[in-house]
Amino acid sequence: MNIPSTFNFTAKDHDGDQMSKFVDGTGNFIETIVHHLLPVDSVHQESNGVLPAIQALVKVLIVPHDGYLCRRDILQLRMVQSECVETLVSHPEPGSLFPSPYPPNGKGDLLSLLQSSPGALICKPSLCEAHGIGAFDLLDKDLYNRLSFDWVLPIKPPTRTVAVVGGRPLFDSTTCSYGSEGPFNAARALGISVIVLDRPGHFMQRPEYSHLCDGFIAVDMTIDDRLPDRLAEAVRGLKIDGIITFSDEYVITTAKAAALLGLETEPVESIVTAHYKDATRRALDAPNLQSLRVESSEDLDSERFSSVIEGLKYPLVVKPCRGAASRGVKKVRGLSELRQALTQLERDGLSKYGMLIETYISGPEIDANIALWNGEVLFIEITDDFPCTADASDATVADSFGETVMVSPTSLPQQEQELLKKSLHQSLLKVGFRNGVFHVEARIRDSEMEYQDVDGIVDLAKRDAASPGLPEVYLIEINARPPGLDCAFSTLHAYGVDLCALQLLQCVKDGGRFAAMCKPFLFETQYWSANCLIPIHRHNITVPEGFCDKVLARMPDAAPFVYRAELFREPGAVVSPPLGIEFLAYFLVFSRTDRRDVLQIYYRLMQTCRDVLDGK
């Protein structure tokens, strides 16, 4: 497309005579496209306001039939980080009806055709220079891989209102980075209004942040038996279509509130089972897995447990029956360490709901994000969760199970991936789940793979010796919610699947859009992605302003491969690692060529982050 800097063009007839008919693009979508092609402030660069022609390849997208976009930003979401696209130009009214591009009389012109266009793609100049008009073929292939699903709906989705329990924290007031950014962005794109329920004085109650949600109701958020009633009462007089949370501490409470209001929820008893680790163990009854619930360290001396304690085979894992972020989870190698670990949990206030003692499963650990509808798996992502300090053979009670780095997609062999999918699916059904998004953690005993140090980089590699048995899947825990913000953004960019959006759609029982938006790219994932978690490595760290930018400024060669970075703590805060590992920030890293690349960047990031935090 040759685009002059004026918006009118003149057509000529076959004899070369200028026709009197002009096609005026002013006020039309074509004007929006042209504005994106012109240099900034271009009309001021020439005295007459006219510039030489600009040459560009532009792909105008046309809807396949009458309808509405499944979400207003679906093109931005699915074309994210495309190697072919320089700019995506969206229609100024993405929520409007896009008519069929095929007129009844078979005739039409450019401007009428543009009424059926939700957007246009401007090809990267480098692609055009390398391939000429052949760049269109590459772009067509990319589009096919990214938009081969039902992204246009025949009927406009109704407007919905959802109550969200827990607004989550403000991470960085200088950038307005906050813990609900992913879910709230998804809600706006889906046409869902959000009313936040949280404690009085929450940052979203302040005028400068009121634009982040459609309403805020202050509620006493003390976690007690009356909280579900307080939440239900807060919204009972409003017309809401669902109630949901993205915060682990409110999952059970929110399910109970939904049941009180007669709104969509998975069975409360299933959610309780999933979020109490001892209840999960009883429900699944895994073979070859020792499991014992105790109330206190004194139970080790109880006559009731004496025979069980004596028969335990080490190493074991000790953990709170209800907890989060691996707080209090310890590996023990004998009775004295077992007693020490239980005593530590009591001292740290982590024994309120009981403590679980179970077999330590050696082998690769994975995180799986699973989307279910009517009991069927519509999407699954398996991520390798790399070893932590507690996985070392010489680990002590002081070592942690806190996460280090997570890499997607997994490099486990295909047969083990299929085993994981089948086993985890059956576990979810056995606990009683049918619909929603679940973040599940598991390990594979006797895997063909193990973590090895190869030329200074630790990664999964084929075992030197044959496995002693067939691979077995052991579920660690089920979270009846999407993963954390960092993991959700990773899945969105790598697979084109927005897990937070899916949970919102499940909440309002929109199965059609849920199924459509479970479809990943045809090439599954567009690159290797690593979620690099930065721990608070010592006490009394002052969080620097612009921390992520300062880190990347020291790694200019790696910075282009970091597609998102964010603090978890407010700049200026003084932080220490309570009860094990806590995280300060995350960096999402990608590579289209080699999984090893993202791991190399991870190790450099870890050291650079420490240097910045320590003032080196």
Percent of the chain scored above 90 by pLDDT?
77
Give the model's confidence band at 16: pLDDT under 50 very low, under 70 low, under 90 confident, else very high. Answer: very low
* Average pLDDT of span 428-452: 97
pLDDT given at position 82: 96
Reported residue count of the chain is: 616
The continuous run of DSSP H or E covering 407 comes out as strand 405-408
pLDDT given at position 108: 62
346 near 315, Cβ under 8 Å? no
* Average pLDDT of span 153-170: 95
Q: Which residue has the higher pLDDT, 207 or 48?
A: 207
pLDDT given at position 381: 98
Q: Pick the most confident of 19-23, 125-129, 157-161.
A: 157-161
Please report where in the chains the tokens 């009860």 appear, as a residue: 579
Please check the confidence at residue 466 and state whether its pLDDT lies above 90: no
pLDDT given at position 306: 87
Give the model's confidence band at 45: pLDDT under 50 very low, under 70 low, under 90 confident, else very high. Answer: low
DSSP letter string, 144-177: HHHS-S--EESSPPPPEEEEEE----EEETTTTE
| CATH code, domain with 581 | 3.30.70
pLDDT given at position 578: 74
* Average pLDDT of span 184-195: 97
- Position 8 in a domain: yes
The total of other beta-carbon atoms located within 10 Å of residue 325's CB is 16
pLDDT given at position 158: 93
Give the model's confidence band at 163: pLDDT under 50 very low, under 70 low, under 90 confident, else very high. Answer: very high
537 near 606, Cβ under 8 Å? no
pLDDT given at position 382: 98
* Average pLDDT of span 269-286: 95
Q: Say whether 319 sits in a helix, a strand or coil.
A: strand
* Average pLDDT of span 3-15: 35
pLDDT in tens, 298-331: 999 988 888 899 999 999 999 999 987 788 899 9
pLDDT in tens, 561-593: 999 999 999 999 999 987 667 899 999 999 999
* Average pLDDT of span 590-612: 97
Q: What angle do CA 590, 591, 594 make, to 5 degrees?
A: 140
pLDDT given at position 15: 42
Please check the confidence at residue 1 and state whether its pLDDT lies above 80: no
Please check the confidence at residue 17 and state whether its pLDDT lies above 80: no
- Position 49 in a domain: yes
pLDDT given at position 2: 36
β-pair partners for 439: 369, 479
* Average pLDDT of span 72-87: 96
- Position 23 in a domain: yes
Buried-state track 34-43, b at ≥16 Cβ within 10 A, e below 16: beebeeeeee
pLDDT given at position 81: 96
**pLDDT, averaged across the chain:** 90
474 near 442, Cβ under 8 Å? yes
Total domain count for the chain?
3
- Inter-CA distances, 329 with 84, 269, 401, 531, Å: 46, 25, 6, 22
Q: Which of 326, 359, 392 is the last residue of a domain?
A: 359
pLDDT given at position 3: 35
Tokens standing for 155? 């009927």
Please check the confidence at residue 80 and state whether its pLDDT lies above 60: yes
Q: Which of 160-174, 198-212, 499-513, 578-592 has the lowest mean pLDDT?
A: 578-592
598 near 545, Cβ under 8 Å? no
pLDDT given at position 579: 67
What one-character DSSP code corresponds to residue 39? P
Q: Which residue has the higher pLDDT, 231 or 19?
A: 231
* Average pLDDT of span 130-146: 93
Percent of the chain scored above 70 by pLDDT?
91
Q: Are strands 192-198 and 215-218 parallel, antiparallel or unpaired?
A: parallel
Tokens standing for 335? 């009775």
Q: Which of 153, 170, 202 is the last residue of a domain?
A: 153
Domain containing residue 329? 290-359
pLDDT given at position 285: 87
* Average pLDDT of span 340-349: 94
pLDDT given at position 253: 98
| CATH code, domain with 312 | 3.30.1490.20
The sheet carrying 215-218 orders its strands as 215-218, 192-198, 160-165, 242-245
Name every residue whose Cβ is closer than 8 Å to that of residue 596 and which is 6 or more positions away in sequence: 457, 459
* Average pLDDT of span 358-371: 97
Q: Are strands 472-479 and 376-385 parallel, antiparallel or unpaired?
A: unpaired
Give the model's confidence band at 530: pLDDT under 50 very low, under 70 low, under 90 confident, else very high. Answer: very high
Q: Which residue has the higher pLDDT, 172 or 356?
A: 356
pLDDT given at position 571: 94
Q: Which of 359, 380, 412 is the last residue of a domain?
A: 359
Residue among 171, 39, 67 nearest 566 (CA): 171
